[in-house]
């Protein structure tokens, strides 16, 4: 993660498209999930160069495709030319001894993923035969901890240690799967991590404190780095799929510099909500941000999968959050009901006006002024959530006014409305927030609100 007193970027993970036609450095293909065109190799090279200029010393290539592809070799050579460390995470489907030797010659750290996959042992054997690991080129195996493989992990860990391979076991949200059916219960995770820690201490004199989401003495850097996706979005961490911006629209430097998500993560000792922040092992453990985001909707929430939180779930904040917890307005003046979504300088808030509200009209609709008031209360909810149950002292804020407010329609009593907020600009303690009020797909009001937030 970005450190407030260090370089803007220390490492970057790059998700590579798996398609073989990615060989063409000028060809753009479309991502089936987003409809956006995928990055070319030229765009990835340019981003790596910019990452180096911002202080990055390591690039991790997260690849699902063949290792022997020419474009991959070109990227590894680019990283080496820039005097950066290259790391490759791969399933190793086509690794031969010759391929492994070429990777070793370039001193590429290898993370071999999916140990249960057919062909894994063959790929691992080729890497070992080529001379991995060495002091200049490490070798790791990466496995996801799930209910289906819990009984196999201790043996895999011991095998890795015996061969001087770094085991990386990760409790993480599975892609496209139901969390409840795949994640082990916290007690089982605790038992596994404790067993692995005792083995390391007994057999190798390696001491570490069992903490989620990764067992071992340290968390691999690729799990703490911003991620460049195949379509150019920057995510704050692997598994936290919040777009901070897109490199085709905004310079990488500005994405990183202006990101409130990265700023919050860098100040995690103050910003994490709930029981994790008061845990005796809070430093250096900060739980899984990916699991916190996937389960609660808040990347700064306490980790619900940690065994130390098993009896503290009622103290963990989950989205949606009732508005009465985060704004000062009381009924009947309170118009917003719940904070629904929080992302990068963005939030969505729900509002329902009942018949007892002073904004209710006799004709069954609500006063036009209620729409502007909803914008203001939604902004207060956005700010209040940032400080909810954190180590930050409460401070004052105020609405200074509105600009370019346009009314397109009116809401009805009892109708569920949604307010969408985007932080547009900030000048010290002053800020401008763009806001819309919508009923379904119908826009009722839009404009900018000016706010003041007392500096800490």
| β-bridge mates for residue 423, sequence order | 433
What is the 8-class DSSP label of residue 22?
A: G
Computed from CA positions of residues 9, 15, 17, 18, in that sequence, does the dihedral angle turn out positive or negative? positive
- State what percent of residues in the chain have pLDDT above 70: 93
Average pLDDT over residues 256-270: 95
Helix axes 186-204, 153-162, angle to 10 degrees: 30
DSSP string for 216-257 = SSS--GGGSS-EE-TTSBEESBTTB-----BTTTS-HHHHHH
| β-bridge mates for residue 30, sequence order | 37
Average pLDDT over residues 73-77: 92
What is the per-residue pLDDT across 269-303, written as a single tens digit (0 to 9) for each?
999 999 999 999 988 788 999 999 999 999 999 99
By three-state DSSP, how is residue 364 classified?
A: coil
> What's the rounded Cα separation, in Å, for the pair 195 and 336?
49
93 vs 452, which has greater pLDDT? 452
User: Measuring CA to CA, which residue among 399, 377, 384 is closest to residue 342?
Assistant: 384
Average pLDDT over residues 367-394: 92
Average pLDDT over residues 404-424: 96
- Find the Cα–Cα–Cα–Cα dihedral 251, 256, 261, 267, rounded to 10°: -170
By three-state DSSP, how is residue 11 classified?
A: strand
Is the distance from CB of 339 to CB of 319 less than 8 angstroms?
yes
**Quick one: pLDDT at residue 59?**
98
**Quick one: pLDDT at residue 176?**
65
What is the per-residue pLDDT across 58-68, written as a single tens digit (0 to 9) for each?
999 998 766 76
The domains of the chain, with CATH numbers, are: 11-266 (3.20.20.70), 321-453 (3.10.129.10)
User: Per-residue b/e over 14-32, b at no fewer than 16 CB within 10 Å?
Assistant: bbbbeeeebeeeeeeeeee
What is the 8-class DSSP label of residue 134?
A: B
pLDDT tier, 20 (very low <50, low <70, confident <90, very high otherwise): very low
Is the distance from CB of 104 to CB of 82 less than 8 angstroms?
no
pLDDT tier, 5 (very low <50, low <70, confident <90, very high otherwise): low
**Long-range contacts of the stretch 321-330 (C-beta < 8 A, 24+):** 321/381, 321/385, 321/388, 323/349, 323/377, 323/381, 325/384, 325/388, 326/380, 326/381, 326/384, 326/385, 326/388, 327/377, 327/380, 327/381, 327/384, 328/380, 329/377, 329/380
Distance from CA of residue 305 to its chain's centroid? Answer: 16
Is residue 186 over pLDDT 60? Answer: yes
User: Measuring CA to CA, which residue among 411, 351, 413, 410 is closest to residue 380?
Assistant: 351
Pairing type for strands 234-235 and 58-62 reads unpaired
In this structure, the number of other CB atoms found within 10 A of the CB of residue 284 comes to 9
Average pLDDT over residues 99-103: 94
**Quick one: pLDDT at residue 19?**
56
- The rounded radius of gyration (Å) of the Cα atoms in the chain is 25
What is the per-residue pLDDT across 206-232, written as a single tens digit (0 to 9) for each?
999 999 999 999 999 999 999 999 999
Give 125's contacts (C-beta < 8 A, 6+ positions apart).
none
pLDDT tier, 94 (very low <50, low <70, confident <90, very high otherwise): confident
By three-state DSSP, how is residue 406 classified?
A: strand
pLDDT tier, 89 (very low <50, low <70, confident <90, very high otherwise): very high
What is the per-residue pLDDT across 158-182, written as a single tens digit (0 to 9) for each?
999 999 999 999 999 877 667 777 8
The pTM of this model reads 0.93
Instruction: For residue 171, give both structure tokens.
Output: 């409790």
**Quick one: pLDDT at residue 179?**
72
Cα–Cα distance list, 18 to 51, 173, 188, 287, 333 (Å): 22, 21, 34, 30, 54
pLDDT tier, 393 (very low <50, low <70, confident <90, very high otherwise): confident
């Amino acid at each position: 993660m970005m450190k407030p007193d260090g370089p803007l970027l220390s490492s970057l993970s790059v998700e590579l498209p798996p398609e073989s036609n990615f060989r063409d450095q000028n060809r753009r293909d479309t991502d089936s999930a987003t409809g956006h065109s995928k990055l070319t190799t030229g765009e990835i090279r340019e981003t790596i160069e910019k990452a180096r200029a911002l202080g990055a010393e390591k690039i991790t290539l997260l690849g699902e495709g063949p290792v022997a592809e020419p474009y991959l070799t070109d990227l590894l050579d680019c990283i080496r030319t820039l005097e950066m460390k290259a790391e490759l995470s791969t399933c190793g489907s086509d690794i031969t001894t010759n391929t492994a030797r070429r990777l070793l010659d370039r001193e590429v750290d290898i993370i071999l993923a999916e140990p249960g996959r057919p062909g894994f042992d063959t790929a691992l054997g080729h890497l070992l035969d080529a001379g991995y690991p060495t002091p200049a080129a490490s070798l790791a195996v990466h496995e996801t901890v799930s209910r289906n493989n819990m009984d196999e992990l201790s043996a895999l860990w011991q095998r890795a240690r015996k061969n001087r391979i770094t085991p990386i076991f990760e409790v993480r949200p599975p892609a496209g799967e139901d969390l409840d059916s795949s994640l082990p219960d916290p007690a089982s995770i605790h038992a596994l991590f404790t067993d692995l820690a005792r083995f390391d201490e007994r057999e190798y004199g390696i001491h570490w404190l069992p903490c989620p989401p990764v067992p071992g003495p340290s968390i691999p850097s690729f799990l703490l780095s911003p991620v460049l996706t195949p379509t150019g979005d920057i995510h704050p961490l692997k598994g936290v799929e919040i777009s901070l911006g897109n490199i085709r629209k905004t310079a990488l430097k500005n994405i990183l510099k202006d990101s409130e998500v990265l700023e919050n993560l860098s100040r995690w000792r103050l910003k994490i909500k709930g029981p994790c922040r008061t845990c005796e092992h809070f430093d250096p453990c900060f739980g899984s941000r990916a699991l916190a985001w996937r389960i609660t909707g808040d990347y700064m929430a306490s980790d619900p999968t940690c065994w130390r939180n098993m009896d503290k779930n009622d103290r963990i904040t989950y989205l949606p959050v009732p508005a009465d917890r985060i704004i000062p307005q009381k009924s009947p003046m309170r118009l917003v009901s719940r904070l629904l979504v929080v992302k990068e300088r963005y939030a969505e808030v729900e509002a329902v006006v009942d018949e007892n509200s002073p904004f209710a009209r006799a004709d069954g609709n609500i006063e036009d002024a209620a729409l502007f008031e909803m914008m203001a209360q939604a902004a207060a909810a956005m700010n209040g959530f940032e400080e909810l149950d954190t180590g930050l002292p409460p401070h004052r804020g105020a609405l200074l006014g509105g600009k370019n407010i346009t009314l397109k329609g009116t809401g009805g009593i009892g109708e569920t409305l949604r307010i969408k907020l985007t932080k547009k600009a900030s000048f010290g303690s002053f800020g401008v927030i763009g806001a819309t009020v919508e009923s379904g797909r119908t826009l009722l009001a839009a404009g900018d609100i000016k706010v003041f937030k007392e500096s800490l």
